A and B are shown apart, each in its own frame.
Chain A
Amino acid sequence: MIRFVLACLVACGMLGSVSVCHYMLTRSPVTEPPTSIQPTLRSESALQTPHRTPDQQADTTVSPSRIQLQNNDAARRFFLILTSGFNTAPDPFALGSDGLTEPTRLSAQYGDKSIITLLNDLLRGESIRSSEFDVADTDITRGTLTLFIRATPAETDARIPCPLRIDLIRADGFPCDTYTLWTPGNGVMLTGEATLNPVPGSNTAALGWELVK
């Protein structure tokens, strides 16, 4: 009887461990589809207006590093303004570009979050404002966040390197940092990382700071 119980326990243990191993080897990763955001297109001249009140402007001209955050939520929420130095076009090699559906022209991703998925053409000199997104506390502490950017230049602009400017603005309107990526200029789409500092005033070339001076 003892022998039988012992055999049953061993069998259960082995079956359990083998099943767990089998599950670990064969399970498929769970992925969430990226959300598509309808962007707000803005003209470049409209972007030259800082998104701040006169009081805020006065604060920032004194010392950008002394900006006190009103609350933690405001400190974590940001948006991007992307200004393209080239005409964008649909990416013919995108997943889902079956000639019937509209492929993405430009996209920005932060971690696994899709910040911008542009399905309309963006013309040279035009800008696009993203929706607001939360930055991880660890990135704020480190003073670095990384965005993954993809953009497809139109045939007319594909043979020369063209810039794409990325401005990081805090949700309450304070510009933080700016970064410029360049298209390869050999007919290939732009894929690159933009590393930005989410602390207001960390880069005085950021959108709006030059106007403050």
Chain B
Amino acid sequence: MIFRNIYWIFWLHLLLNSMIPCSSARAEPLFTVVASTTQIADLAREIAGDRCRVISILGPGINPHGYMPVPNDGKTVASADLCLQNGLHLEGKNWMATLVRDNGNRPIITCSDGIIPLHLDYDGTVVDDPHAWFDPRNAAIYVNNILKGLIVMDPEGASQYTARASLYLNQLRVLDAWITEQFHQIPPEKRILVTSHDAFNYFAARFGLTVRSPVGWSTGAEIGGGMTPERRRHVVASIREGQVPAVFVETTVNPKIIEQIAQEAGVRIGGHLYSDAMGPAGSAGERYIGMMRENTLTIVEALSR
């Protein structure tokens, strides 16, 4: 009799356990967020956590200025609950906004909304610099914009998104202070950053560097973009005049031009900097904070010698 009761209890227990989802198992993401670039995807992942699947259209090391979308990108965007773009024409010819418009017109957030853009003057033509994420204070604005978008998309997840965003903003605060400390080790006259294209103006403005680059704000053919012989001459002259010890290769730009300039000016290559895209999986530059840290260490080490 007792054994028969135990038998029934055992089967009842199994039945009930199968009806209630196991709380320790990781739940499938509830939403899909599609970002144009790797840095925006990383910021979104930090805030969305496991509630969302975050997909980046661009992979590590891919240049956003000249990117040509492929048919699969349209399918990815069509599956999104929320799309994220940098804005300020980082996505050359507004390819992300066009993808969204042509594939279901999904909700889209422009992460740079609310920042005060730096204006770059190219022979009288003024262009807004799109590389705003290189100032951690602007990255905080990106985070807040992404947070607002996620809360509109998924109000039930608001408390989780807000908690993650709050923690991440504190990490950005620490990053910002740490980078400031690092650059104070370099004498002001040696803080000259020569890179392939004009990606580091926000970084330079925040941390007291002067930037020189042979290629304008974009590697594409937009106004103010691309290399001109005059810009190249100016960069070589600046390196010699400022006795700059090193120049830097960018991970998203062909190193040929900057290598030629280094040879011509008689300086060495100081290292590789993550610029318009972050590093591959497993590298230190895979995350925004790691990318900023690695860039800082590379620059400080090369310019301190």
* Interface positions of A (Cβ within 8 A of B): 3, 6-7, 10-11, 14-15, 18-19, 21-22, 25-26, 28-29, 31, 92-100, 186-189
Q: Is the CB of A187 within 8 A of B176?
A: yes
* Main DSSP-derived SS at the A contact region: loop
Docked Cα-Cα span, A4 to B216, in Å, equals 81
Interface string of B1-35 (1 = CB under 8 A from A): 00011001100110011001001000000000000
6 residue pairs of the A-B complex, CB under 8 angstroms, read: A14-B12, A18-B17, A22-B20, A93-B137, A93-B140, A94-B140
Docked Cα-Cα span, A10 to B180, in Å, equals 64
Q: Is the CB of A187 within 8 A of B180?
A: yes
Docked Cα-Cα span, A93 to B144, in Å, equals 9
Docked Cα-Cα span, A96 to B9, in Å, equals 53
Residues of chain A lying within 8 A (CB to CB) of residue B172: 93
Q: Is the CB of B169 within 8 A of A94?
A: yes
Q: Is the CB of A95 within 8 A of B144?
A: yes
Docked Cα-Cα span, A18 to B148, in Å, equals 35
Question: Which of B16, B23, B114, B136 is within 8 Å of A14, CB to CB?
Answer: B16
Residues of chain A lying within 8 A (CB to CB) of residue B140: 92-94, 97
Question: Which of B4, B5, B16, B148 is within 8 Å of A15, CB to CB?
Answer: B16
**Shortest Cβ distance from residue A136 to the other chain B in the assembled complex, whole angstroms:** 26
* Main DSSP-derived SS at the B contact region: helix
Question: Which of B4, B114, B176 is within 8 Å of A99, CB to CB?
Answer: B114
Residues of chain A lying within 8 A (CB to CB) of residue B180: 186-187
Q: Is the CB of A7 within 8 A of B181?
A: no
Q: Is the CB of B173 within 8 A of A189?
A: yes
Residues of chain B lying within 8 A (CB to CB) of residue A19: 20
| B159 CB–A CB distance under 8 Å | yes
| B102 CB–A CB distance under 8 Å | no
Residues of chain A lying within 8 A (CB to CB) of residue B20: 18-19, 22
Residues of chain B lying within 8 A (CB to CB) of residue A6: 5
Docked Cα-Cα span, A65 to B66, in Å, equals 76
Docked Cα-Cα span, A98 to B13, in Å, equals 51
Interface residues contributed by chain B, number (CB under 8 Å): 36
| B297 CB–A CB distance under 8 Å | no
Residues of chain B lying within 8 A (CB to CB) of residue A15: 16
Q: Is the CB of B169 within 8 A of A14?
A: no
Question: Which of A25, A29, A93, A187 is within 8 Å of B169, CB to CB?
Answer: A93
**Shortest Cβ distance from residue B252 to the other chain A in the assembled complex, whole angstroms:** 26
Q: Of the 9-residue stretches B56-64, B83-91, B92-100, B160-168, which lies at the interface with chain A? A: B160-168
Q: Is the CB of B116 within 8 A of A99?
A: yes
Q: Which residue of B lies closest to A92 (CB)?
A: B137
Question: Which of A11, A14, A99 is within 8 Å of B141, CB to CB?
Answer: A99
Q: Which residue of A lies closest to B12 (CB)?
A: A11
| B50 CB–A CB distance under 8 Å | no
**Shortest Cβ distance from residue B111 to the other chain A in the assembled complex, whole angstroms:** 10
Q: Is the CB of B16 within 8 A of A11?
A: yes
Residues of chain A lying within 8 A (CB to CB) of residue B116: 99
Question: Which of B9, B141, B173 is within 8 Å of A188, CB to CB?
Answer: B173
Interface string of B73-115 (1 = CB under 8 A from A): 0000000000000000000000000000000000000000111
Q: Is the CB of A3 within 8 A of B113?
A: no
Question: Which of A28, A99, A189 is within 8 Å of B115, CB to CB?
Answer: A99
Q: Is the CB of A3 within 8 A of B162?
A: no
Docked Cα-Cα span, A100 to B110, in Å, equals 14
Interface string of B144-162 (1 = CB under 8 A from A): 1101100000000001101
Residues of chain B lying within 8 A (CB to CB) of residue A187: 176-177, 180-181
